[in-house]
Amino acid sequence: MMSAIVPGTVVWIALAGSVVVWLGVLALSAGRLVGPRRVVGWFLGSWLSRGMILAAWGAAGWHIFCQRP
């Protein structure tokens, strides 16, 4: 188990921070910017994109619940 913060963790923290900042900007934009609901809606707009996002969902579930501790 890792106890110190490794370089990869720093990148994840930066990515998480960016997401939080962006969600804050979206909350303040009063609907002028494209929010997460519309992004998900975009993914669900066609059979191809819906199938791809469902495949990613299934793969994530398999990895998390059948391969990870």
CB of 28 to another protein, least distance (A): 13
Look up residue 45 and give its DSSP letter.
T
Please tell me the count of residues contacting another protein according to CB under 8 A.
40
Query: CB 53: neighbour CB atoms within 10 A?
Result: 14
How far is it, in rounded angstroms, from Cα 3 to Cα 16?
20
- Say if residue 43 is exposed, middle or buried (CB neighbours under 10 Å; 0-12, 13-18, 19+): middle
Return the residues of window 6-35 that contact another protein according to CB under 8 A.
6-9, 11-12, 15, 18-19, 22, 29, 32-34
Give the residues lining the site for another protein (CB under 8 A). Answer: 2, 6-9, 11-12, 15, 18-19, 22, 29, 32-34, 39-41, 44-51, 53-54, 57-58, 60-69
